[in-house]
Structure 1
Amino acid sequence: MFVIRRAAKRDIFQVRKLLNEAGLNDRGVDKHLEHFFVVESPGENGSAARITGAVGMEVYRPCGLLRSFVLERASWNPKVGLQLIQILLAYAGHLQLSHVYLLAGASASFFEQIGFAEVPFADLPEDISGSEHLEHTGPNGTPMVYACFPSGQH
């Protein structure tokens, strides 16, 4: 059993710990925590619940940059991962963002299956390509985009 919920300020330490343990960039997470969701697993034997996954987005209207998608290896469940991404994309739609971009590593095929498409670096919007997250990550990975609304519906 798990719960996916909006991240709160109290979650920053656990989110950063998850990212660091996975070797992912945690720079700027604190600046965008309001656009993060976490997976919370119940504690054992009455202990407090703990965060076992997270996904976040940097918002640069009218677009967003998906970042920090992580689930603990021991807790990895494709269904939970898919739900976490779907919740973030629904949230992007709620914010009326037109597109969500990301920089995919080995997970590019996973994101293609949910509707992301590969794009050239040169096609990234300036706010996205100039984000602290992408500047720190560098050109490692495959830029991808997801259209939040089919053509003409936004």
Structure 2
Amino acid sequence: MFVIRQAEKKDLFQIRKLIKEVGLRDRGIEQHLHHFFIAEVPSVNEGKVSPMVGVVGMEVYPPYGLLRSFVLERAPWNSKVGMNMIRILLSYAEKMGLSHIFLLAGQSTRFFTQLGFVKTGQDDIPEELRQSEHLAKSISQGQPMVYAFRKYPLPN
């Protein structure tokens, strides 16, 4: 069993550790921590830290979000937990009133396509998102993809 919850300040060290272990950039996470979610195995012992097995977060530049730092430990259950994590993040983004969520997918384009993301070009990334240091440093390392909430059309 796993619990997915919104990240708190006390989670920052574990989040950074998990992200660094897979070679992703952790710079700037603290500024956007309130838009991060973690998956953990609940601890049966009170006071014991629950093992964190996944993290997903986004940077918010209204009306857009930039999904970043999606990491799951390798295990047979990871695609189900991963899909739930992304769905929770998308639900959160929709409640915030965001219109589109962008990301740079490496080898995971198929996974994100199953969740409703579509491939797009670098030129289609909105100017609002270009202020992200994470995006600027990562733009050449992945396939841009976008998720549009039903009431908003995909950008041209």
TM-score normalised by the chain length of structure 2: 0.90
Q: Which runs of 4+ in 1 moved over 3 A?
A: 43-47
CA displacement at 1:129 relative to structure 2: 2.7
> Compared with structure 1, are the counterparts of its residues 151 and 97 closer, same or farther at alpha carbon in structure 2 (3 Å cutoff)?
closer
* Preserved CA contact (<8 Å) 1:62 1:99: yes
What value does the CA root-mean-square deviation take over the aligned residues?
1.7
Please tell me the residue identity of whatever aligns with 1:107: S
- % identical equivalent positions: 55
Match of 2:99 in 1: 98
CA displacement at 1:43 relative to structure 2: 4.0
- After TM superposition, the structure 1 = structure 2 runs for residues 43-82 of structure 1, keeping only pairs within 5 Å, are 43=43, 47-74=48-75, 77-82=78-83
Number of corresponding residues: 152
Q: Provide the rounded CA distance (Å) in 2 between the counterparts of 1:28 and 1:116.
A: 24
**Unpaired runs of 5+ in structure 2?**
none
Q: Provide the rounded CA distance (Å) in 1 between the counterparts of 2:95 and 2:45.
A: 38
* Preserved CA contact (<8 Å) 1:56 1:68: yes
Q: Provide the rounded CA distance (Å) in 2 between the counterparts of 1:58 and 1:110.
A: 20
* Preserved CA contact (<8 Å) 1:52 1:75: no
* Preserved CA contact (<8 Å) 1:92 1:148: no
Query: Residues 5-24 of structure 1, C-alpha deviation per residue, up to 9 Å, x if partnerless?
Result: 00000000000000000111
Q: Provide the rounded CA distance (Å) in 1 between the counterparts of 2:35 and 2:26.
A: 14
Q: Provide the rounded CA distance (Å) in 2 between the counterparts of 1:74 and 1:20.
A: 18
**Unpaired runs of 5+ in structure 1?**
none
Query: Does 54-63 or 35-44 show the bigger shift?
Result: 35-44
Query: Residues 53-76 of structure 1, C-alpha deviation per residue, up to 9 Å, x if partnerless?
Result: 110010000010001001112475
